[in-house]
Structure 1
Amino acid sequence: MQNKGLVTVFAILFGLVSIYQLSFTFIANKVEGNAKEFAQSKFSENEPHERDAAENRYLDSVANNPVFLGIDYKTAKEKELNKGLDLKGGINVILEVSVKDILKGLANNTKDPAFNQALENAKELQKTSQETYLESFFKAFEAIPGDNELASPDIFFNKNLEDVISAGMTNAQVKPIIEKKIDESITSAFEVLRKRIDKFGVTQPNIQRLGKSARILVELPGAKDVDRVKKLLQSTAQLEFWNVYKFEEVAGFLQAADNKAGEIAMANTSSETAETETTEKEADSSKTEDDDVSKLLGGEDVSDSLIDDSKTNPILSKMVSLGNQGGPVIATFKLKDTAAINGYLRNPQIKSLLPNDMRYAKFVWGLPEVAPELNGEEITALYALKGNRSNVPPLGGSVVVDARQEYDNLSRVVVSMQMNGQGAKVWEQLTGAAYENQSQIAIVLDNTVYSAPGVTSGPIAGGRSQISGDFTVNQGQDLANVLRAGKLPASAEIIQGEVVGPTLGQEAISSGVMSFAVALIIVLFWMIGYYGRAGAYADIALMVNILFIFGILAGLGAVLTLPGIAGIVLTVGMSVDANVLIFERIKEELAKGKAQKDAVKDGFNNALSSILDANITTGLTGLILLVFGTGPIQGFATTLLIGIATSLFTAIFITRLFIDKYTRNGKSLPCSTSFTKNLFTNVHVQFLKKRKTAYVFSAIMIVISLGSLFVNGLNQGVDFVGGRTYTVRFAKDVNSIDIQNDLIETFGSAEAKTYGGDNQLKITTKYKVEETGTDVDDEIEHMLFETVKKHFPAGMTYEDFVGDGEGKTIGRMEYYKVSPTIADDIKKDSFWAVFGSLAVVFLYILLRFRRWQFSLGAVAAVFHDVLIVLGVFSLTYKFMPFSMEIDQAFIAAILTVIGYSLNDTVIVFDRIREYFGEHPSWKMNRIIDLALSSTLSRTLNTSFTTLIVLLSMFFFGAESIRGLLFAIIVGILVGTYSSLFIATPVMYDTVKRKKVEDLIDKKEEDEAALEA
């Protein structure tokens, strides 16, 4: 090998750089370990929040103190090896900004029937289409009968867009303008979210817009407060200031609404009964209503007269308390009853009861608060805002230029706001009018009244205002944060979300490290036991390879995930494969009687072609994964690609350095031990004679697989069908069937499977899968908790169930949600990933061997392998003790199987081509049989070491990637078989004897290219 000195210097420098990059991780971990010990010494396990706060205070206090070689914790934290959510815990969501809302805003909330019908039709089209919402809207708009123009005055030719859209423009001219406006709005939403997240206090957050879509990916490793994050991300920060009706102005309507609601309820129950009771009610309604309203206005205690549990009073019977005269609160209700009250208040018959001067009134709710007298149930107040025809508030939040969390005179948390000049002027007028009328102004954020203060000291000048409420410090800071960052241009819904508790993340790290260590130790000893001193050199190269991989990951700022660790483990097997190829070729050259130096040189040169082909085919599948994958799958692809590059370098150069140094003075290096010296040396298997038997066997396997796929199908995960998945851990073992039956009663459709130990379940439901929003998520989690609560210790609360504190041992450990829309996209991307990898590899083999028969053989083997892996999953998913869902991780496994199968096949083909050149006069079947027999040692050795590594991960690794590993294990077994009994026989049966000369010419060209 030339330039040994240069290679040595490069390897040493690269190793030092890798150690330097990893040193930041060690420093950060050391300081965080000290912080954890400090917090544990101050607070017990029963005080998780106090522990977290103490830990954060400790880290803040030492952030700038040098720890090692002048490196402080703050610097180390910024440069440490990033750990993904599955290793660290945290929150990962994909938000979709509502293009529908943006379009309505651009059209000034028009009432145009064609426009609004197109919005609804576009929503339906989205359920089965891969188009963007905007494309579906344009298609739906043009499909509506009539001469509908986007540039009409009732739609986009308005004050908002008059500078870019003029009357007479065609739809084709308007479309690109609207597309640009939509893109600008989504970019604005991205910037608003980025500003909010920057102030949230999470280290190494990741936010990125997914292409040109309306989707935004947000990753917050280490975030624990799920509700807080959801509110931060989904709050549109639509701040409004409204005048509010007093209690006595609405009390009469409330009584009349209750009476009418009772009539409607009774009419729905029984028409005859309804007629009778309506007559009776009308007979004395005047007296009842007058009496009740007089009591309301008089401020007497009316709880007995108004709160009636019968069906005739469906509104007031749910009331907790009435408001006070002169105050803005109309009544207080339980939070769980607000949906029912909203239904009554929106009923056209009830709305018609509003007096003419109140016909634009808007009923909204206040902030929920806990009521100790109701056993801790949450209650909320009802307000009536003085709306108007255009539904525009007297003052909007766009005038706010600054907001900060402060404390009032009673040391309560408040949020103070400062308005610009225009806002200050309107605010002074509003507060002046409220002072004169002795009324209140409601401060409304995202359709929730935060406070409705009165004005007691005259108009407020200067534009200062304040939002008060029962805030914690974090809530106050978050509210100030979203107000400073500005409002979102439209609502944003979580269409895909994942929550991983820190305990589960720590368990994943522990199991990952253990499985990796076991696999590494077995491989290291195996290489020495099989190849002797040469195996020891390969082990050194392998350790250097692992150092390089982690160093590059740290230097690039890449994220290490659990599938990423699986990728590194797979890389270990591939690194061993390269060394096995080299050692087997050296042994062959020594068997020919060559001197040690010449045998080493020729062994490396002859193995190089196979090594490059094998790694390039695997690398191509890794690139496909990187392009089409998301999140953890990209982590898998990243480590796989880095591992391929470092494996090539360490196997070809590092191992060569040690071997050349040892054999420099003529020392013998047999690349074997006394036990393995003559293993596989005289093996000659007539593979082609067995090909018909193999065809029949494979055909039976494929027919069984296809039959099962048609009959049983596959257990498609939420990635492909949408839904919500929860990992729930109990204090003791539970019966999954019993819990599943309970869940089916609650949700109508649900699945519960043992996940890991018998005390942990993976629960999946498609209940309300089409609906999004934090309210729906909270509702389903409450329903889940109520269903499984009896299996937890007494005293377990909902907050304990969903909390994500450090050291949590029971409750909801992980949560994953995918909407049907994004599930369709994932399915489409997965199809193109598999199809693309097959197409790319077919072309590569065609270019490499210049014969379509080789490509056909390779692709036939790959299809064979994929169908059998799918068949195994279809046949066994119902009774396997681990999750066998078809999800993104499974697609990664399939692509890995494709890469590994091609790796094996290419090496076999390369040896066949070599034998054609060495023995042109032999019959083709003899050439192929001998070529395959000569690769048996390499094939079985590589398959064994790779399987050992994967089995170690399978048995000792995390539960979440067990299905992925099982698919790869099955794929390696089937792939090893297919490279010998499918790929080569198919090539043999399609190639003709006259092609041998072409193969010889191609072999000579490749050798000349490698020497050059």
Structure 2
Amino acid sequence: MQNKGIVRIFAILFGLVCIYQLSYTYITYSVESEAEAYAVQQIPESVENYSKLRETAEKEYLDSIGKDPIFAGITYNDAKTKELQKGLDLKGGINVILQISVKDVLKGLANDSKDPAFNQALQATDEVQKNSQNTYIDDFFTEFEKIPDAKLASPDIFANKNLSDDITYNMSNDEVKPVLRRKIDESIESAFEVLRKRIDKFGVTQPNIQRLGESGRILVELPGAKDVDRIKKLLQSTAQLEFWDVYKMEEVFPFLFAANNYLKEQADNVKNEVAEEQQDAEVVADSAEVDSTTVDSTKTDEDQAIEDLLADAEDSTDVEAQVNPLFDLIAGQGGQGGPVVVTVAIKDTAQFGSYLRDPKVRALLPADQKYLRFAWGMQAKGSEFVDLYALKGNRDNQPELSGGVITDARQDFNQIGKVSVSMQMDGKGAKKWEEMTGRAFKQGSQIAIVLDNIVYSAPGVTTGAISGGRSEITGNFTVEEGKDLANVLRAGKLPASADIIQSEVVGPSLGQEAIDSGIMSFAIALGLILIWMVFYYGKAGAFADVALVVNILFIFGMLAGLPGAVLTLPGIAGIVLTIGMSVDANVLIFERIREELARGKSQADSIKDGFSNALSSILDANITTGLTGLILLAFGTGPIKGFATTLLIGILTSLFTAIFITRLFIDGYGKNGKELAFSTGVTKNLFKNVNINFLGKRKIAYVFSGILIVIGLGSLFTQGLDQGVDFVGGRTYTVRFDKDVVPTAVEKDLVAAFGSAEAKTLGANNQLKITTKYKIEESGEQIDAEIANMLFTALQPHLPGDLSYEEFAIGEDDKTVGIMSSMKVGPTIADDIKKAAFWSVLGSLIVVFLYILFRFRRWQFSLGAVTAVFHDVLVVLGIFSLTYKFMPFNMEIDQAFIAAILTVIGYSLNDTVVVFDRIREFFKEHSSWPLADQVNGALNSTLSRTLNTSLTTLLVLIAIFIFAVPLRGFMFSLIIGVVVGTYSSLFIATPIMTDTVSKIGLKEKKKADA
């Protein structure tokens, strides 16, 4: 090897850089361990809420020493920003994708136009979007064009005064479209900046926020964040701050009285109709009973109709119970002269609101109150009730004063010590605020401060008009909630609503367990590989082990220093898999050296030629795997992107260490004439004189594979696959119980609550994966809270009696019972994920086909390789379809499974390319041999390498399968893939390539003879 000195210097310097990068992680780990020990010492477990108190104590400790130098001038705060980032599955936290409503942006640009064509197009676009892969704006343009003579540049739509500088009345639709696209992009960018400012003030270390293409979607990752509800509220709040005059309780109560009487009258009418139907049904039933003495006992259609009618009559009990439909839902009445109209239980707000929205009920409003708007107040923490307010609306439904005038906001305390948020307005806002407060003082009324349609407070004005533009929001919120509210107001409002269409929440306890299982699987896999290499290759294997350890240092060092790189549990799996694959390069080299030694060459020449001859196979194998990794990196998200990142880094570092570092040790050992056998006494003559007729067995392999694929396809078409929420949408929760539970019993209770739900054992028998599609098309903080509460209620028979909802929800450290993680995927993004998965698999096949065609110059090689890959993918899918119903671990088809399929493709191609490379070599060296002998000879010569690599990789995968419980389905697919990939390289790819080559050769021979 030339330039050994340069390689040695580079390896040492690169190793030092990696150690330096990892030192930050070591510093943070050490300091945080000290902080944890301090918190444990200060707060014993006997203290109530000790977990949260310890968390606070840890934070205070870290804040106090954050700027103190620890080592070489490095502070904890410095180290924290440069440490190896851990993903959600290892650290806990929340990962969401927000969809900025392009519809809201369009309505805002059109000044909430009432134009029929505009609103018709919006309505049609909403329907189309349910099954569309296009962006909202593209579908809107398509639907708008369908309306005859509709003009985007109409004065009633976009040719308004706000857009007068960009859109004029005489512009065509095609001229308006790029303007709207630009305006929408500006609005989404504005939303991105608003969210970024909010997150920056939240206090989470290493947050990640990024736009996802042109879809209007924004990805937010907050590792380590625990207060899930608080974060969701922070992200989804549009910060639409409004100030409204309100009606007093006594001004609105006459309407409620009239509404109740109307609803009562309607209920009485329904009750009378049901009673009449019941009476008629009983008469018919009596008649049927008399007739039954003379007719057959078989139930007739008429009998069934009678039973249905009686059942309807029995269901009427709910109607009869409604004495006062509206008033029966009222839990309390507001005070005389106050802004609170009534108080209602939270569980009854949906029903109460539906009554008030009824057009016939609203028709009972007096003429001077026809624009009245009802709004719920802020829910006090722990309370089961909420207040109702009546706002003085107007024709345009626009407030006199909005949050756009706020220039500053901060958390404060009012005169009686309650948490408040003080705000400062600009000059225009101050003038309007003085006018509104002066009017309220004269009338003795209140002004409601409304944020995102929730009344936070409705203070009265007791000292006259307020000048200077200062105002205050008070309510039943904590200091943290007050800080968040001030943060939201300072950052500004979102230009449109932001809905969470995908979310993943991982509790800190589950994250720590993932770290433990990842380290365990990593240590065992590494130990097995190190032992195997020494057992098989002796001292040379020990040198390969040293190179392997250096390789691991390089991988973690690069991850720590690479901006945006995150270590995830699938990422650890990628590193462990890379260890198995990096051994392959050393196996290839050592097998080549052994061949050269067997030919009688000197040790120096054998080492030189062995490395040289193996290089082509090593590069081809790693490039094909790297190509699939790049595709995975492009299409994957979250943990899967972490898997792809570590896989690609591992390929690069393993190439360097196998080719250069191992060579340095081997050359250094042999320079003084020391002999290196590259084998042990047990393995010296293993596979030495093997002569298997692989091609002779190809027909048996074709039949066997054909039967396997047909059975698999039959299962795929009949019972399909167990598709996860990634592909079909839904909510899934990982819930841990204090004792073993029976999934079917739990599922029965869940179905009763949600209508449709699944419960499957995940890992231990006291942990379930619960999935439901209940209200999946609806989003928002209230919907998420409603479903979590329903889940808690449904699981009551299986949970400890003293467990509270707060303890059940995500957020606690050292958690042993409750929700450990949750995930939500909306139906729209589920379609996008499925589409991306399809293109990633198809794209990898096309890219690899072209690469092999380029490298081997014969399409027959590409055909054989791609056929083998198709074979492997179909076999894996078939086995999953056949076994998912009874396997004791999760076998859902999700993004992780797609990563596994792509890895199987990469591994299969890796194996196939090595075999093809040796066949190509035999074509040149043994050109006089018959084709079958050339191919069989090449396969037999690579058999030691093929089995060695497969065995080491399987050892790694089995170690992960046993200890990394959340990855068992993922690992199972890889284990199948390795076994099937090894088989297909020998018995599918090579025979198909050989058959096509021989047929082409036969045709050419016939042409020549003719």
User: How far apart are 1:264 and its partner, in Å?
Assistant: 2.6
Match for 1:358: what amino acid?
Q
Q: Indicate the residue corresponding to 1:472 in structure 2.
A: 478
1:629-668 alignment, distance < 5 Å: 629-668=636-675
**Inter-CA distance 139–56: structure 2 relative to 1 (3 Å threshold):** same
What is the DSSP-based 3-state SS (H/G/I as helix, E as strand, rest coil) of the residue aligned with 2:162? coil
* Structure 1 gap ranges (5+): 276-307, 371-375, 999-1012
Match for 2:237: what amino acid?
S
Instruction: Kindly indicate whether residue 735 of structure 2 is the aligned counterpart of residue 732 of structure 1.
Output: no
Separation of aligned partners in 1, 2:274 and 2:816? 57
What is the DSSP-based 3-state SS (H/G/I as helix, E as strand, rest coil) of the residue aligned with 2:424? strand
Match for 2:85: what amino acid?
N
1:856-871 alignment, distance < 5 Å: 856-871=863-878
Q: Is the 8 Å Cα contact of residues 789 and 796 (structure 1) preserved in structure 2?
A: no
Which residue of 845, 849, 861 maps to 1:842?
Answer: 849
What is the DSSP-based 3-state SS (H/G/I as helix, E as strand, rest coil) of the residue aligned with 1:494? strand
Instruction: Kindly indicate whether residue 62 of structure 2 is the aligned counterpart of residue 59 of structure 1.
Output: yes
Q: Indicate the residue corresponding to 2:146 in structure 1.
A: 143
What is the DSSP-based 3-state SS (H/G/I as helix, E as strand, rest coil) of the residue aligned with 1:209? strand
Match for 2:72: what amino acid?
L
Q: Indicate the residue corresponding to 1:33 in structure 2.
A: 33
Instruction: Kindly indicate whether residue 951 of structure 2 is the aligned counterpart of residue 944 of structure 1.
Output: yes
Match for 2:775: what amino acid?
K
Separation of aligned partners in 1, 2:844 and 2:357? 55
Match for 1:850: what amino acid?
R
Q: Is the 8 Å Cα contact of residues 861 and 978 (structure 1) preserved in structure 2?
A: yes
Match for 1:23: what amino acid?
S
Which residue of 319, 325, 331 maps to 1:320?
Answer: 331
User: How far apart are 1:312 and its partner, in Å?
Assistant: 3.6
Separation of aligned partners in 2, 1:961 and 1:265? 56
Q: Is the 8 Å Cα contact of residues 864 and 992 (structure 2) preserved in structure 1?
A: yes
User: How far apart are 1:962 and its partner, in Å?
Assistant: 1.2
Q: Indicate the residue corresponding to 1:264 in structure 2.
A: 266
Instruction: Kindly indicate whether residue 127 of structure 2 is the aligned counterpart of residue 120 of structure 1.
Output: no
Q: Is the 8 Å Cα contact of residues 753 and 761 (structure 1) preserved in structure 2?
A: yes
Separation of aligned partners in 1, 2:207 and 2:268? 55
User: How far apart are 1:803 and its partner, in Å?
Assistant: 3.5
What is the DSSP-based 3-state SS (H/G/I as helix, E as strand, rest coil) of the residue aligned with 2:581? helix
Q: Indicate the residue corresponding to 2:764 in structure 1.
A: 757
Separation of aligned partners in 2, 1:60 and 1:417? 28
Which residue of 390, 395, 406 maps to 2:401?
Answer: 395
Separation of aligned partners in 2, 1:107 and 1:859? 53
Q: Is the 8 Å Cα contact of residues 531 and 673 (structure 1) preserved in structure 2?
A: yes
Q: Indicate the residue corresponding to 2:184 in structure 1.
A: 182
Match for 1:161: what amino acid?
L
Q: Indicate the residue corresponding to 1:295 in structure 2.
A: none
Q: Indicate the residue corresponding to 2:907 in structure 1.
A: 900
Instruction: Kindly indicate whether residue 223 of structure 2 is the aligned counterpart of residue 221 of structure 1.
Output: yes
Separation of aligned partners in 2, 1:488 and 1:563? 35
Which residue of 615, 620, 623 maps to 2:627?
Answer: 620
Match for 1:870: what amino acid?
L
Q: Indicate the residue corresponding to 1:514 in structure 2.
A: 520
Separation of aligned partners in 2, 1:172 and 1:266? 58
What is the DSSP-based 3-state SS (H/G/I as helix, E as strand, rest coil) of the residue aligned with 2:885? coil
Separation of aligned partners in 2, 1:69 and 1:619? 38
* Structure 2 gap ranges (5+): 278-318, 1005-1010
Q: Indicate the residue corresponding to 1:808 in structure 2.
A: 815
Q: Is the 8 Å Cα contact of residues 810 and 821 (structure 2) preserved in structure 1?
A: no
Q: Indicate the residue corresponding to 1:416 in structure 2.
A: 422
Which residue of 366, 380, 393 maps to 1:369?
Answer: 380
TM-score (norm. length: structure 1): 0.93
**Inter-CA distance 236–268: structure 2 relative to 1 (3 Å threshold):** farther
Q: Indicate the residue corresponding to 1:989 in structure 2.
A: 995
Separation of aligned partners in 2, 1:267 and 1:117? 37
Instruction: Kindly provide the CA deviation profile for residues 465-523 of structure 1, in whole angstroms up to 9, marking residues without a partner as x.
Output: 00001121100000000000000011100000000000000000001001100111111
Q: Indicate the residue corresponding to 2:535 in structure 1.
A: 529
Q: Is the 8 Å Cα contact of residues 259 and 312 (structure 1) preserved in structure 2?
A: no
**Inter-CA distance 241–254: structure 2 relative to 1 (3 Å threshold):** same
TM-score (norm. length: structure 2): 0.94
Separation of aligned partners in 2, 1:392 and 1:828? 42
Q: Is the 8 Å Cα contact of residues 266 and 273 (structure 1) preserved in structure 2?
A: no
Match for 1:488: what amino acid?
L
Q: Is the 8 Å Cα contact of residues 271 and 320 (structure 2) preserved in structure 1?
A: no
User: How far apart are 1:539 and its partner, in Å?
Assistant: 0.1
User: How far apart are 1:269 and its partner, in Å?
Assistant: 3.8
Q: Indicate the residue corresponding to 1:914 in structure 2.
A: 921
User: How far apart are 1:377 and its partner, in Å?
Assistant: 4.9
Q: Indicate the residue corresponding to 1:504 in structure 2.
A: 510
Runs ≥4 residues deviating over 6 A = 272-275, 993-996
Separation of aligned partners in 2, 1:768 and 1:361? 30
1:563-712 alignment, distance < 5 Å: 563-712=570-719
What is the DSSP-based 3-state SS (H/G/I as helix, E as strand, rest coil) of the residue aligned with 1:265? helix
Q: Indicate the residue corresponding to 1:353 in structure 2.
A: 364
Q: Is the 8 Å Cα contact of residues 99 and 133 (structure 1) preserved in structure 2?
A: yes
Match for 2:607: what amino acid?
V
Instruction: Kindly provide the CA deviation profile for residues 107-134 of structure 1, in whole angstroms up to 9, marking residues without a partner as x.
Output: 1112222221211211111121100111
Separation of aligned partners in 1, 2:960 and 2:187? 46
Q: Indicate the residue corresponding to 2:985 in structure 1.
A: 979
Aligned pairs, number: 958
1:765-780 alignment, distance < 5 Å: 765-780=772-787
User: How far apart are 1:666 and its partner, in Å?
Assistant: 2.1
Q: Please report the RMSD computed on the Cα atoms of aligned residues, expressed in angstroms.
A: 1.5
Separation of aligned partners in 2, 1:942 and 1:879? 31
User: How far apart are 1:769 and its partner, in Å?
Assistant: 1.7
User: How far apart are 1:192 and its partner, in Å?
Assistant: 0.4
What is the DSSP-based 3-state SS (H/G/I as helix, E as strand, rest coil) of the residue aligned with 2:55? helix
**Inter-CA distance 43–270: structure 2 relative to 1 (3 Å threshold):** farther
Instruction: Kindly provide the CA deviation profile for residues 49-81 of structure 1, in whole angstroms up to 9, marking residues without a partner as x.
Output: 211111110010010111222211001100000
Q: Is the 8 Å Cα contact of residues 318 and 334 (structure 1) preserved in structure 2?
A: yes
Separation of aligned partners in 2, 1:86 and 1:453? 45
User: How far apart are 1:194 and its partner, in Å?
Assistant: 0.3
User: How far apart are 1:137 and its partner, in Å?
Assistant: 1.2
Instruction: Kindly provide the CA deviation profile for residues 422-463 of structure 1, in whole angstroms up to 9, marking residues without a partner as x.
Output: 101111111111111111111000001101111111111110
Instruction: Kindly indicate whether residue 201 of structure 2 is the aligned counterpart of residue 203 of structure 1.
Output: no
Q: Is the 8 Å Cα contact of residues 263 and 312 (structure 1) preserved in structure 2?
A: no
User: How far apart are 1:409 and its partner, in Å?
Assistant: 2.0
Match for 1:639: what amino acid?
T
User: How far apart are 1:310 and its partner, in Å?
Assistant: 5.3
User: How far apart are 1:568 and its partner, in Å?
Assistant: 0.2
Q: Is the 8 Å Cα contact of residues 378 and 455 (structure 2) preserved in structure 1?
A: yes
Separation of aligned partners in 2, 1:168 and 1:90? 52
User: How far apart are 1:265 and its partner, in Å?
Assistant: 2.8
Separation of aligned partners in 2, 1:677 and 1:449? 82
Separation of aligned partners in 1, 2:967 and 2:136? 34
Q: Indicate the residue corresponding to 1:286 in structure 2.
A: none
Match for 1:77: what amino acid?
K
Q: Is the 8 Å Cα contact of residues 440 and 460 (structure 2) preserved in structure 1?
A: yes
Match for 2:972: what amino acid?
F
Separation of aligned partners in 1, 2:460 and 2:756? 50
Match for 2:11: what amino acid?
A
User: How far apart are 1:44 and its partner, in Å?
Assistant: 3.2
What is the DSSP-based 3-state SS (H/G/I as helix, E as strand, rest coil) of the residue aligned with 2:161? coil
Separation of aligned partners in 1, 2:597 and 2:72? 51
Match for 1:335: what amino acid?
I
Match for 2:13: what amino acid?
L
Separation of aligned partners in 1, 2:276 and 2:253? 25
What is the DSSP-based 3-state SS (H/G/I as helix, E as strand, rest coil) of the residue aligned with 1:560? coil
User: How far apart are 1:274 and its partner, in Å?
Assistant: 11
Match for 1:988: what amino acid?
T
Separation of aligned partners in 2, 1:309 and 1:920? 95
Match for 1:26: what amino acid?
Y
Instruction: Kindly provide the CA deviation profile for residues 782-828 of structure 1, in whole angstroms up to 9, marking residues without a partner as x.
Output: 11111111111112121111141111111000000000100000000
Q: Is the 8 Å Cα contact of residues 380 and 477 (structure 2) preserved in structure 1?
A: no
Query: After the TM superposition, which of the residue ranges 45-54 and 750-759 deviates more from structure 2?
Result: 45-54
Match for 1:239: what amino acid?
L
Q: Is the 8 Å Cα contact of residues 81 and 553 (structure 1) preserved in structure 2?
A: yes
Q: Indicate the residue corresponding to 2:167 in structure 1.
A: 165
Separation of aligned partners in 2, 1:87 and 1:507? 8
User: How far apart are 1:758 and its partner, in Å?
Assistant: 0.2
Instruction: Kindly provide the CA deviation profile for residues 643-668 of structure 1, in whole angstroms up to 9, marking residues without a partner as x.
Output: 00000000000000000011112221
**Inter-CA distance 435–217: structure 2 relative to 1 (3 Å threshold):** same
**Inter-CA distance 467–309: structure 2 relative to 1 (3 Å threshold):** farther
